[in-house]
Amino acid sequence: MLHKTTRYLLAAVQAIIGWEWVMSGGNKLLAGNFPQSMGAALANGIDGNPNGWYVSFLQSIVLPHSVFFGYLIQWTEVITGVILLTGAFILFGKPHVRGDSQYKLTIGYSIAVILAAAIGVVMNVNFHFWMSGWVIPTFNPTAPYNEGIDLDGLLPPLSLVIMIAQLALLRDLQGYWLWSPLFYRLRGSKAKRAVEA
């Protein structure tokens, strides 16, 4: 992951997805009434939705607090986009290795990108459950003029690619996987308990 071409490719994917989130959240912010109109949009979207569990979730939790969730969605989209875009710009630079002054910032931002991409996956899957009642694209011969896979259907797998690539970058920068210290700490405490017993 420290190779320039690999970082540039990851940066391009991150920038495209980050720009999509900034535009989506920015449109909601600039509309000025997204939080206030979200309740009516949700009510229309769940009409005929085949996922009873999801409709129940929206009706009991989200609809009563739709203004709050509206603000949460628009700002989460903007922040997710800004994190992914900034992370893309960081990838265009020389990777900061241990001992560099910007090393900890690079590590922190890689973790932030992983979290932002994960949040993006949750938002995209949620949108598909709300709009179509299904996440996985299927054949639909009754609608031959529709797109096969829409942009929201592509974002979750691309976000997973970002998460995996950022984890690999962290491994290369740190020399170990992100969860390794926790694993060794847990393994060490088990060994210590075995010796004490």
pLDDT tens, residue by residue, 59-101: 999 999 999 999 999 999 999 999 999 999 999 888 887 888 8
User: d(Cα 147, Cα 142) in Å, to the nearest integer?
Assistant: 12
Say yes or no to pLDDT of 18 above 60.
yes
- Looking at residue 44, its pLDDT comes to 84
Choice between 47 and 122, residue whose per-residue pLDDT is larger: 122
Q: At what angle do helices 4-31 and 151-174 cross, to 10 degrees?
A: 130
Cβ atoms < 10 Å from Cβ of 160: 14
Residues spanned by the domain of 23? 4-196
Is the pTM higher than 0.85?
no
Total domains, the chain: 1
- Contact between 54 and 126 under an 8 Å Cβ cutoff? The reply is no
Those residues with Cβ within 8 angstroms of residue 109's Cβ, 6 or more apart along the chain or in another chain = 83, 86, 87, 90
Those residues with Cβ within 8 angstroms of residue 77's Cβ, 6 or more apart along the chain or in another chain = 21, 22, 24, 25, 28, 123
Report the C-alpha dihedral over residues 95, 97, 100, 102, rounded to 10 degrees: 50
Cβ atoms < 10 Å from Cβ of 109: 19
Candidates 109, 73, 80, 75; CA nearest to 21 is 80
Of the CA atoms within 13 Å of residue 181, those in its CB half-sphere come to: 4
